[in-house]
Amino acid sequence: MAASAAASSRRGFLRLVVAAAVLAAFGLGAARAAGSSVDRAPLSVASLFPGPACPTTAEHEPSAAASARMKIVHQHGPCSPLADAHGKLPAHDEILAADQNRVDSIQRRVSATTGRGKLTKRAAPVQPGTKKSPGHSASSSTPSLPATPGRALSTGNYVVTVGLGTPASKYTVVFDTGSDTTWVQCRPCVVKCYKQKEPLFDPAKSSTYANVSCSDPACDDLDSNGCTGGHCLYAVQYGDGSYTVGFFAQDTLTIAHDAIKGFRFGCGEKNSGLFGKTAGLMGLGRGKTSLTVQAYDKYGGAFAYCLPASLTGTGYLDFGPGSAGNNARLTPMLTDKGQTFYYVGLTGIRVGGQQVPVAESVFSTAGTLVDSGTVITRLPATAYLALSKAFAKAMSASGYKTAPAYSILDTCYDFTGLSDVSLPTVSLVFQGGTCLDVDVSGIVYAISQAQVCLAFASNGDDESVAIIGNTQQKTYGVLYDLGKKTVGFAPGSC
């Protein structure tokens, strides 16, 4: 009996060895043979089209243990304080066209700094008009401030609510890792203001407001500045011709339960462009005027955000070294590549658990940055073509019907009549072996059920910088740490 059992055990062991050898011969691991999530990701088609209502349960609300945590919502989603009363969203062609404007703007800036990539025509310079200094009776014609290289415009993206002034009033602003200077529209708005949802910030009602003087070294930290009546002026022009111009000022900024005293920001009195109904913008770049740098002593130059999987979800923006949690996968922040942006070393891409055949030099030549405001990830042409081919091959093997291209998206599928689909997984690999295993919500971008597209696009060449967009960042706690010079990705954070 014992001998028979032993023989049976040996035969079973041999069968396992032979099976493993066969799998290995075909390049398949045990996990893949079992059909695990290593190579496929299940997706409910309905989840691509969330309902118009905001969930009643509060998610990621600030607490005493996380005093600097703020709730993030998509500015056009139903949870946004700026949402249209009828739930009207921008058209997809408008979102993608605006996204391309932002990408063009970022690439111009990078090209101007590094000399790489294509340098395209800049927008026309801003000519500020006559304005009155807040809290002062004297007025004068301000000098024409030089236009800076097209700044990366935050369009159709995520917002947070901050407090400004004493007593604090609440303002909903876009947060942007691709900008440095924070600004809001200000009364008396003597030149021009676009229509925003909340009342304009009124310096006269804040006991802690003060203009920054022209002699203050902080005035020189601006990329574009001027002077009138001894007061420092700022100007920021964006890639599509949008702009903000006004007084560089300081006041108390409140983020969740924390107060940042003497925070320097732009008090805009001439503003125009595609800013939606927001009150302004929070700059979280690496420049001297950014919130990241100004609050360095308090938070160590570290912050993290988590973008929700859908328009109806909520995420968070948090400050401090532990803001992304303990499970963040870290990669070096390449601070020698240029200012403002957060550069990382992208080294490869995996589709369905398999490395896509792209030389690492394709990524290192162009360089890569992580951006909160770009919607669709842009890749060097060679890398995108390889990704698209690998993705299309896997989708074809599953029998999915192709659909026409849409705008910048050219790898699309028709899911009409399907309730659930299985997508090939997509992973981005960074220096040090760090992987961003893209959440299933970030693999595709849905135009309609009949047109669901791979949410990546080509730069059109191999010289322009690659940009990791916010669609691929969904559900991850994305950590930026200036002190440790790292960028991290913590899965399942929201």
Q: Can you give the three-state secondary structure of the chain, one letter per residue?
A: CHHHHHHHHHHHHHHHHHHHHHHHHCCCCHHHHCCCCCCEEEEEHHHHCCCCCCCCCCCCCCECCECCCEEEEECCCCCCCCCCCCCCCCCHHHHHHHHHHHHHHHHHHHHHHHCCCCCCCCCCCCCCCEEECCCCCCEEECCCCCCCCCECCCCCCEEEEEEECCCCEEEEEEEECCCCCCEEEECCCCCECCCCCCCCECHHHCCCCEECECCCHHHHHCCCEEEECCEEEEEEEECCCCEEEEEEEEEEEEECCEEEEEEEEEEEEEEECCCCCCCEEEECCCCCCCHHHHCHHHHCCEEEEECCCCCCCCEEEEECCCCCCCCCEEEECCHHHCCCCEEECEEEEEECCEECCCCHHHHHHHCEEECCCCCCEEECHHHHHHHHHHHHHHHHHCCCEEECCECCECCEEECCCCCEEEEECEEEEEHHHCEEECCHHHCEEEEECCEEEECEEECCCCCCCEEECCCCCCCCEEEEECCCCEEEEECCCC
Residue 288 tokens read as 């001297």
Per-residue pLDDT of the chain (494 residues; tens, 9 = 90+): 434 444 443 333 333 333 333 223 323 232 232 233 479 999 999 999 877 778 765 444 444 445 689 999 988 788 888 876 545 678 899 889 889 988 998 998 888 776 554 533 333 333 333 333 333 322 333 333 333 333 444 444 899 999 999 999 999 999 999 999 999 999 998 888 999 999 999 999 999 999 999 999 999 999 899 999 999 999 998 766 789 999 999 999 999 989 999 999 999 999 988 788 899 999 999 999 999 999 999 999 999 999 999 888 899 999 998 787 788 999 999 998 888 899 999 999 999 999 999 999 999 998 999 999 999 999 999 999 999 999 999 999 999 999 999 999 999 999 999 999 999 999 999 999 999 999 999 999 999 999 999 999 999 999 999 999 999 999 999 999 999 999 999 999 99
Q: What share of the chain is helix, strand, coil (3-state, %, to 5)?
A: 20, 35, 45
* Separation between Cα atoms, residue 125 and residue 82, nearest integer Å: 30
Cα-to-chain-centroid distance, residue 370 = 7
* Separation between Cα atoms, residue 446 and residue 453, nearest integer Å: 6
Residue 402 tokens read as 């192709």
pTM (2 decimals)?
0.84
Cα-to-chain-centroid distance, residue 98 = 14
* Separation between Cα atoms, residue 251 and residue 253, nearest integer Å: 6
The catalytic position among 176, 223, 240, 251 is: 176
176 is catalytic: yes
* Inter-residue contact 286 to 262 (CB < 8 Å): no
Decide: helix, strand or coil at residue 451. strand
Q: Which of 123, 229, 236 is nearest to 179 (CA)?
A: 236
Ordered structural domains, the chain, with CATH? 68-110+146-307 (2.40.70.10), 326-491 (2.40.70.10)
* Inter-residue contact 237 to 150 (CB < 8 Å): yes
The catalytic position among 371, 437, 439, 462 is: 371
What DSSP string runs through 105-156? HHHHHHHHHHS-S--PPPPPPP---EEE-TT-S-EEEPPPPPPPS-B----S
